[in-house]
């Protein structure tokens, strides 16, 4: 495959899918917004059946949750990401007929995403009701240089006529209410109520505000100098419009920038609309599509220089991996006030909520390759500590914080607490991600100003929520009752293995960092009221944590009673009854041993040190047999473990499924948005799995083993401020220091010193 092709996602090479799935696959984004690649003529026209829209990270409306029985402490509001009007929208007028009033025929001919530049190229063949046919070629990109900008070029050529065609570029009218309802609880469920104000200004500019959350965005359009256009007032709105005389074979082309402000509280929209318009006009009017593209593409180059994974010997996987990494980059919030929704910014699924997905599945990729982005993602959690503290008190927990299971603004948004709020492991997951970030980056400033506070306050939660057992079975141990682990097919249990193990780590790192800071920064401990007594309590609970084990089966037990339940007859259940959650009452499912996703075994990846392979094999075999992978967060974990168990075929099979999940729509719901956690776990599978990257002492270790078909794997990481490149073949491994001072590291647990200009080379077979 030529080098350039390896970065192209060409429609003709993908398996056929419905229109909405392709809209998701080709979504463009930059962490601030995501725009689905929909039919640009659709707008509000119900004649078409796509799902166009733009999602702005952190822009949501509150939607009231209604319960038949509304118990105390239930989340009262959900937050729902707003599906905003499509900036790609354009109106054509031929023979006096406007395409927004009378539907034109639109046929999608081609799409190609160039992941090197971030440009999406699309071709649509369009026919007016008077049978005039023309071809529309779109080129667009979300700027990675200025995250407020979406830039689009429309090029029109006549196919069967010579004559006049008018284009009108104005903001689409928006439905005040985007009504959504689905039988599938994973899809968007609620409606957001939007108001829009079109503003009298020199540009088409509007403000969109939400009714209940009272947030506002300002959106302006500016024609670029490729084919300058004047604004005129059409339908009382400032609009760009122009009539062209089309001659067959001659294309007419025009470009626009679309500027999308950050969300502001409505009352504090200090940035007046006309000031925003003026600044957009000043900064953009003289620019061309190409200039803006070059600025953005330079940033994408930098991203690939840090984050690319070069894989030789398996072109399909190589491209699939890049696709997943590119989507992660497109989705990650960069302003410290936003994170990564479960569906990225590609669709309305899961209401646009952030879950543990971000910290446990996506953050490692950023921590190792784009640490500045990882820092911003963790800062988002730091900024929501006040809401998490409030939630803990509301839940009767008198110390520490309780992060929400699903949220946008930091408040709990889960209406089904057994598979929501009860997943208190999220506290420890966030602390784990902070610790990983600190170990990989050595960012003391982050530790001192933000990270330590997160770790201490989450650790305090465990002391308050758990307790020292007095009953016979658990006597003298620290236990945690009434929680739900990652496996959502088992709920409200005592001593979920994953939760207890993660809580133990949370307590452990609270002690570690308290001791470290005590030497030089005792003031920090005083500021957070951390006393020696409390550090001792953390330590005791860490050492006394109860971890359930089944002595007969000799496996780690998922919870106190998990192995006593009957096993769900997985093989006898017809295929069309999966995912089980759409076909059975939760209690029916809870009654059995059946796992939606990896739970207990995930701890083997998170704490790889001193693993006994026989134990791992027993755990793996047991849990694999009862796991149905109804969650997309499951297969990657089993794949990494299969690799550790030297089961190469199985490891590769799982890995393949995770890499291709959205490109092949294998979960069947890519239309609602990509599976961002699974995309993150593609990187985990490669780097934690096949490359065998892990932490060792104060450094890292590599124990690689590539699938047979792969001839070479190359990637880079940042570690303690140094950039390091690893190249792995079937027989050897080469490690090179690209920047920074020398450091010690490990290959198959053997120490090596890495210095500038000196390649460390070692045979692995």
Total chain residues near ligand BGC (CB under 6 A): 12
Provide the minimum distance between the beta carbon of 404 and ligand BGC in the complex, in angstroms, as a whole number.
12
Nearer to ligand BGC, 86 or 357 (CB): 357
Provide the minimum distance between the beta carbon of 333 and ligand BGC in the complex, in angstroms, as a whole number.
16
Segment interacting with ligand BGC, rule: CB under 6 A, options 349-357, 434-442, 665-673, 740-748 = 349-357
Count Cα neighbours of 713 within 13 Å in the Cβ-side half-sphere: 25
27 part of the interface to ligand BGC, by CB under 6 A: no
- Do 712 and 727 contact (CB within 8 A), yes or no? yes
355 part of the interface to ligand BGC, by CB under 6 A: yes
Segment interacting with ligand BGC, rule: CB under 6 A, options 12-20, 355-363, 665-673, 736-744 = 355-363
- The CB density around residue 308, as the number of other CB atoms within 10 Å, is 20
State both tokens at 347: 């669709």
Nearer to ligand BGC, 356 or 715 (CB): 356
590 part of the interface to ligand BGC, by CB under 6 A: no
605 part of the interface to ligand BGC, by CB under 6 A: no
Q: Which of 50, 172, 451, 486 binds ligand BGC (CB under 6 A)?
A: 486
Q: How far apart are CA 137 and CA 615, in angstroms?
A: 58
488 part of the interface to ligand BGC, by CB under 6 A: yes
**Best CA proximity match to 342, nearest among 334, 80, 350:** 350
x-marked contacts with ligand BGC along 503-532 as a string, rule CB under 6 A: ------------------------------
| Maximum Cα–Cα distance across the chain | 89
Segment interacting with ligand BGC, rule: CB under 6 A, options 38-46, 258-266, 350-358, 555-563 = 350-358
Provide the minimum distance between the beta carbon of 534 and ligand BGC in the complex, in angstroms, as a whole number.
31
State both tokens at 588: 């029916």
SS3 481: coil
Q: How far apart are CA 358 and CA 374, in angstroms?
A: 10
Q: Which of 488, 572, 696, 725 is catalytic?
A: 488
- Do 259 and 280 contact (CB within 8 A), yes or no? yes
599 part of the interface to ligand BGC, by CB under 6 A: no
Query: What are the CA-CA distances from residue 663 to residues 12, 30, 109, 138, 139 (Å)?
Result: 12, 20, 18, 22, 21
Provide the minimum distance between the beta carbon of 640 and ligand BGC in the complex, in angstroms, as a whole number.
17
Provide the minimum distance between the beta carbon of 346 and ligand BGC in the complex, in angstroms, as a whole number.
13
8-state DSSP, 686: I
State both tokens at 362: 């996506």
Provide the minimum distance between the beta carbon of 55 and ligand BGC in the complex, in angstroms, as a whole number.
16
Query: What are the CA-CA distances from residue 704 to residues 621, 729, 749 (Å)?
Result: 23, 9, 11
Nearer to ligand BGC, 308 or 411 (CB): 411
Segment interacting with ligand BGC, rule: CB under 6 A, options 250-258, 351-359, 396-404, 491-499 = 351-359
357 part of the interface to ligand BGC, by CB under 6 A: yes
Burial label, 236 (beta-carbon count in 10 A; 0-12, 13-18, 19+): exposed
597 part of the interface to ligand BGC, by CB under 6 A: yes
Handedness of CA 395, 401, 404, 405 (dihedral sign): negative
716 part of the interface to ligand BGC, by CB under 6 A: no
Provide the minimum distance between the beta carbon of 342 and ligand BGC in the complex, in angstroms, as a whole number.
4
Nearer to ligand BGC, 33 or 356 (CB): 356
Q: Which of 156, 342, 545, 663 binds ligand BGC (CB under 6 A)?
A: 342
483 part of the interface to ligand BGC, by CB under 6 A: no
Q: Annotate 563-577 with b (16+ C-beta within 10 A) or e (fewer).
A: beeeebeeeeeeeee
Strand partners, 244: 165
Q: Which of 596, 635, 644, 716 binds ligand BGC (CB under 6 A)?
A: 596
State both tokens at 649: 């075929």
672 part of the interface to ligand BGC, by CB under 6 A: no
7 part of the interface to ligand BGC, by CB under 6 A: no
Give helix 635-644 / helix 676-683 axis angle, nearest 10°.
Answer: 20
669 part of the interface to ligand BGC, by CB under 6 A: no
Nearer to ligand BGC, 389 or 597 (CB): 597
Nearer to ligand BGC, 461 or 498 (CB): 498
SS3 533: helix
122 part of the interface to ligand BGC, by CB under 6 A: no
SS3 80: strand
Q: Which of 208, 300, 395, 633 binds ligand BGC (CB under 6 A)?
A: 633
Is residue 488 among the annotated active site residues?
A: yes
SS3 136: strand
- Do 577 and 604 contact (CB within 8 A), yes or no? no
677 part of the interface to ligand BGC, by CB under 6 A: yes
Residue 129 has φ and ψ, to the nearest 5°, of -60, -15
Nearer to ligand BGC, 304 or 578 (CB): 578
Q: How far apart are CA 401 and CA 378, in angstroms?
A: 16
- Do 666 and 641 contact (CB within 8 A), yes or no? no
Provide the minimum distance between the beta carbon of 585 and ligand BGC in the complex, in angstroms, as a whole number.
17
Q: Which of 244, 329, 356, 584 binds ligand BGC (CB under 6 A)?
A: 356
DSSP string for 263-328: PEEGGG--S-HHHHHHHHHHHHTT--HHHHHHHHHHHHHHHHHHH-EEEES-HHHHHHHHHHHHHH
680 part of the interface to ligand BGC, by CB under 6 A: no
350 part of the interface to ligand BGC, by CB under 6 A: yes
Active site residues: 488
Residues near ligand BGC (CB under 6 A) are: 342, 350, 355-357, 486, 488, 596-597, 631, 633, 677
């Amino acid at each position: 495959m030529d080098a350039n092709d390896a970065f192209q996602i060409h429609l003709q090479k993908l398996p056929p899918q419905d229109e909405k799935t392709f809209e998701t696959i080709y979504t463009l984004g930059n962490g601030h917004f995501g725009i689905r690649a929909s039919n640009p003529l659709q707008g509000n026209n119900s004649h078409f059946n796509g799902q166009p829209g733009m999602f702005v990270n952190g822009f949501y409306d509150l939607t009231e949750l209604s319960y038949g029985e509304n118990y105390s402490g239930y989340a009262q509001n959900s937050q729902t990401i707003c599906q905003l009007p499509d900036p790609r929208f354009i109106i054509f007028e031929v023979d006096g007929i406007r395409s927004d009033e009378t539907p034109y025929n639109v046929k999608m001919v081609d799409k190609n995403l160039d992941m090197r530049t971030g440009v999406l190229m699309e071709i649509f063949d369009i026919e007016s009701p008077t049978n005039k046919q023309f071809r529309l070629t779109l080129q667009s990109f979300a700027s990675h240089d200025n995250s407020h900008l979406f830039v689009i070029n429309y090029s029109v050529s006549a196919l069967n006529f010579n004559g006049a065609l008018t284009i009108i570029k104005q903001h689409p009218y928006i439905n005040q209410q985007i009504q959504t309802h689905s039988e599938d609880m994973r899809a968007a469920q609620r409606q957001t109520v939007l108001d829009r104000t079109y503003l009298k200004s020199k540009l088409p500019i509007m403000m969109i505000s939400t009714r209940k959350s009272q947030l506002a965005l300002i959106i302006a359009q500016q024609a670029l100098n490729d084919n300058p256009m004047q604004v005129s007032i059409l339908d009382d709105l400032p609009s760009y419009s122009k009539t062209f005389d089309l001659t067959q074979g001659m294309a007419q082309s025009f470009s626009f920038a679309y500027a999308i402000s950050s969300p502001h509280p409505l009352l504090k929209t200090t940035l007046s609309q006309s000031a925003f318009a003026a600044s957009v006009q000043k900064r953009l009017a003289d620019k061309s599509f190409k200039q803006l593209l070059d600025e953005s593409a330079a940033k994408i180059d930098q991203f690939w220089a840090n984050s690319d994974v070069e894989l030789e010997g398996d072109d399909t996987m190589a491209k699939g991996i890049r696709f997943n990494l590119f989507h992660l980059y497109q989705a990650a919030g960069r302003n410290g006030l936003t994170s990564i929704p479960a569906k990225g910014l590609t669709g309305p699924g899961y209401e646009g909520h952030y879950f543990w997905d971000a910290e446990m599945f996506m953050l490692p990729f950023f921590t190792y390759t784009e640490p500045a982005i990882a820092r911003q993602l963790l800062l988002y959690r730091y900024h929501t500590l006040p809401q998490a503290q409030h939630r803990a008190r509301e839940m009767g927990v008198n110390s520490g914080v309780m992060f929400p299971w699903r949220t946008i603004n930091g408040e709990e948004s889960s209406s089904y607490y057994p598979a929501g709020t009860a997943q208190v492991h999220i506290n420890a997951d966030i602390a784990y991600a902070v610790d990983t970030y600190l170990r990989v980056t050595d960012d003391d400033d982050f530790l001192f100003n933000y990270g330590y506070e997160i770790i201490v306050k989450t650790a305090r939660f465990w002391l308050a929520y758990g307790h020292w057992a007095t009953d016979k079975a658990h006597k003298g141990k620290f236990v945690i009752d009434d929680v739900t682990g990652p496996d959502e097919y088992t709920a409200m249990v005592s001593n979920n293995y994953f939760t207890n193990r993660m809580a133990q780590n949370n307590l452990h790192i609270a002690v570690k960092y308290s001791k470290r800071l005590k030497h030089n920064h005792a003031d920090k401990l005083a500021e957070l009221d951390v006393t020696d007594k409390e550090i001792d309590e953390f330590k005791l609970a860490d050492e006394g944590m109860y971890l359930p084990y089944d002595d007969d089966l000799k496996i780690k037990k998922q919870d106190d009673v998990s192995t006593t339940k009957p096993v769900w007859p997985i093989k006898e259940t017809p295929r069309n009854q999966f995912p089980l959650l759409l076909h059975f009452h939760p209690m029916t499912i809870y009654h059995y041993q059946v796992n939606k996703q990896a739970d207990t075994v995930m701890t083997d990846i998170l704490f790889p040190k001193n693993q006994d392979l026989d134990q791992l094999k027993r755990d793996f075999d047991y849990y694999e047999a009862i796991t149905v992978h109804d969650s997309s967060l499951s297969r990657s974990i089993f794949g990494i473990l299969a690799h550790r168990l030297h089961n190469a075929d199985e490891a590769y099979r799982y890995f393949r499924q995770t890499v291709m999940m959205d490109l092949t729509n294998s979960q069947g719901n890519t239309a609602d948005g990509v599976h961002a956690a699974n995309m993150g776990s593609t990187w985990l599978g490669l780097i934690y799995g096949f490359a065998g990257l892990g932490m060792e002492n104060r450094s890292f270790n590599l124990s690689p083993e590539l699938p047979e078909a792969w001839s070479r794997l190359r990637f880079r990481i940042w570690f303690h401020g140094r950039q390091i490149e690893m190249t792995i073949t079937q027989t050897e491994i080469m490690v090179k220091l690209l920047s920074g001072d020398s450091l010690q590291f490990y290959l198959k647990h053997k120490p090596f010193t890495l210095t500038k200009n000196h390649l460390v080379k070692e045979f692995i077979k």
